Chain A
Amino acid sequence: MSTVTVDGPARTVTPVRRSWFSDVGLVMSRELRPVVREPFSVVFGLIQPLVFLGLFGPLLAGSVGAAGGFSGAEVWQWFVPAILVMTTLFGTSTTGSNLQFEMQTGAHERLLVTPLSRSSQLVGRSLKEIVPLVAQAVIVVLVMLPFGFRADPVGAVLGLAMLAVLGVGLGSLSYALAIAVRKQEWMFWVVQQTVLFPLLILSGMLLPLETGPQWMKVASAFDPLRWVVEAERALFAGDLTSGAVAAGWLAAVLTAVVGLAVGVRTLLRSTD
C-alpha cells in the first residue's frame, strides 16, 4: 500500500500511514541493534546481581538460614528468584539514561519530527527491555544450577515472562523520568537511586520481611516488586497454582500498564 514512486535516483516519498504496530517494531529493532551488536553489555549488567549472589548469598545462608531454618541449596531457592527481579530492576530502571543521551545529541528530536507516532516510540523503547533482561535472567539461572539451584521448567518460563512484563513497566517509568527531568539531567540519577533502594529492600529481596517491624510489612504491600519476588519464588519451585503467582501477575501487569501510560503521557506532554 505504499505510494512510493520509484523513478529516478531520488524518489519523493509520500509517507503512508504506517500501522502503529510496525512503528513499534521499527523503534524496538533500532533499540535492539546496539544490544545485539555488543552482547557484552548484557553481561556487564550482571555484575551487580552476581556480586550480591556471590557475597551476600553465603552470608544469608549463615545468618538467616540458621535463624529461619533453611540451609545450603535451600537458600538459593529463596535468593536466586529475588536476584532475577533485582537484575530486572537494575537493568530497566537505568535505561532512561540512553534516552537522555539521545535527547542531548538530537537523535530523539529527529525521531519526534518523523511520522512515527509518539506512543510507538515510547512503547518500542520499553519493549526492547525484554531482550536483555531475559538474556540476563537465563544466564543467572544457568550459572546457579551447578550450585544446587533447582528450576521447574514450566515455572521458569512463566517466571521469565512475568519478569518481562515487569521490566517493560519499569523501563517505561525510567524513560518517563528521563523525559520529565530533561531540563535538569542530573536529577535522573538522584531520583533513580532514591527510589531504587527502598523498592529493593521493601520487596523482601535481600532479607525476609517477616522479622521486620509492622510498618515495613505494611509499606511492602505497596511495593509491586514484593509480589513479583514472592511469585518468582513460587514459580521456580514449581508451585504454579499458588496465590502468590496470581498476585505477582497482577503486580507485574499493573506496573506495565501504569508505566506505559505514564511514559506515553510524559512523552506526549514533553514539547516545551
Chain B
Amino acid sequence: MIQTRGLTKDFVVSSTETVHAVRGIDLDIAPGELVAVLGPNGAGKSTTMRMLTTLVRPTSGTATVAGVDVVADPATVRRHIGYVGQGNGAGHQQRAADELTMQGQVYGLDRISARRRTGELLDALDLTALARRKVSDLSGGQRRRLDVALGLVHAPRLLFLDEPTTGLDPHNRANLWEHIARLRAEHDMTIVLTTHYLDEADTMAERVVVVDHGQVIADDTADGLKRTLAGDRVVLTVAVPGTAGQVASIVGSLRGARDVTVTGDRVDARVADAGAAVPELVLAASATGTPLLEALAVRPTLDDVFLALTGRRLRDEGSRVTDIPTEETAA
C-alpha cells in the first residue's frame, strides 16, 4: 500500500541553516495494516506524512502510495487517501456540519448522501449537538473530533492520521478508537497514524515504527519491541533491612536474569518472564530467611523501549509509565 525508499526532506530555513527533517526512510506498509509512527517532537513524523499525502515534495528518495508515485501523480494519490493533519482541518468561520457535508461532496457524494453521512459521523463522534456551531466556538477536543470526522467522511482505503487523539479526554479517545477500529474492520482500511501516546501505539497498532531525528530506529510489533529491546523486570523490596545483597544473589542465580541492581532495600533485575520469576523468587527468598516485603512483576512499556533505543524517555500523560526511581548500580 505504501512503499518508500530513501525518503528524505531537507528544509532550507535560511542561507545558513538547513533542517534535515527526514533522513532516508525506507518503509513498506501492506494493505490492511495499522501502523503507529512514534517519536518525540521534531522527529520528522509529520513531514513524512506530508510527503506521503502530496503536501510536501521530497528532497530525494521515492514514495509510492496505493501504487502511485507521490511526485509523478499527486492528484491520483489524493483520490485514494484520507488525511487528518496535525492542525485544524475545519475552517474556523464555518459550521461543523457544513464542513462535513462539503467534504463529502468533494469526494463525490451527492448533497443528500453527504448530509446523511454528516449526520452519521456527528453522531458517532458525539458531535450532534454541535452541528450548527461555528468551528471557532468549539472546544479544542470537539474541534479535534470534527477534524477526524472530516478525514473519515469518504471512508478511504488508506487513512493518514497525524496525532488524531491529541487533546481528547479519555472517554473520547476510547470512543474515537472504537469508531476507527469499526471502520477499519468494515472497509479493510490501511491506517498510518502518528502519536505520542505510548498506550495508543501499544493497544491500537499491530506495528510500531519508532522515528528519531528523521530516521527509523525500530520497526516491529509493540510486543516484539518490548521483548527484544526492554524485556520484563522484577522489582523486589526486602522485609529485613540489610538483606538486599543476599536477595540480589538469589536473583542472580535465576536463569535468564541480568542487570541485577541494588538500591537501598530494593533489588531490580531484568528477567525473561517476570510472571514466572516472582513466585519463584518469593519462595526462594523466604526459604533462605530473607523474606520479601513486596515483589513486583514489571512488564516493559514502549517508554522503556524508547529509553533502550535512544537513551531518552518519551513520557506523556497518556502512557502507563511504571514509576521507578533512577537506577544506580550498587558497588
Task: Report which A residues bind B (CB closer than 8 A).
Answer: 2-4, 6, 8-16, 18, 23, 26, 29-30, 33-34, 37, 98, 101-102, 104-107, 109-117, 271-272
Contact = CB atoms under 8 A, between A and B. Distances in A.
18 contacts: A12-B155, A12-B157, A13-B104, A14-B108, A18-B108, A26-B105, A33-B98, A34-B94, A98-B93, A102-B92, A106-B86, A106-B87, A106-B147, A107-B88, A113-B83, A271-B54, A272-B56, A272-B57
Contact of B106 (A101, A105, A114): A114
Residue among A6, A12, A98 having the largest count of chain B Cβ atoms under 10 Å: A12
B50 to A, nearest CB: 8
Nearest to B11: A272
A17 to B, nearest CB: 8
B107 A13 contact: yes
A271 to B, nearest CB: 5
Nearest to A9: B120
Contacts of B88: 105-107
Contact of A13 (B81, B91, B102, B109): B109
Question: 6 closest pairs, A vs B, by CB?
Answer: A106-B87, A110-B89, A13-B154, A16-B108, A107-B91, A34-B93
A34 to B, nearest CB: 4
B57 to A, nearest CB: 5
Given A16-B108, A33-B93, A113-B78, 10 more contacts: A13-B109, A106-B87, A106-B89, A107-B91, A109-B89, A110-B89, A110-B150, A113-B55, A113-B85, A272-B11
A114 B103 contact: yes
Contacts of B175: none
A37 to B, nearest CB: 8
B183 interface: yes
Contacts of B56: 271-272
Interface string B124-157: 0000000000000000000000010010111111
B110 A2 contact: yes
Contacts of B249: none
Contacts of B156: 12-13
A105 B91 contact: yes
A150 to B, nearest CB: 38
A10 B75 contact: no
B183 A109 contact: no
A105 B110 CA distance: 28
A106 B98 CA distance: 17
A16 B99 CA distance: 19
Contact of B78 (A6, A18, A23, A115): A115
A110 B75 contact: no
Nearest to A113: B83
Nearest to B89: A110
Contacts of B102: 26, 29-30
Contacts of B107: 13, 15, 114-115
B70 to A, nearest CB: 11
A15 B66 CA distance: 14
B299 interface: no
A168 B294 CA distance: 75
Contacts of A18: 106, 108
B53 to A, nearest CB: 5
B161 to A, nearest CB: 12
A4 B113 contact: yes
Given A12-B154, A15-B154, A109 B108 contact: no
Contacts of B187: 10, 12
Nearest to A3: B108
B255 interface: no
B31 to A, nearest CB: 14
Given A33-B98, A107-B90, A115 B106 contact: yes
Nearest to B110: A2
A107 B89 contact: yes
A272 B19 CA distance: 13
Contacts of B83: 110, 113
B108 A4 contact: yes
A105 B92 contact: yes
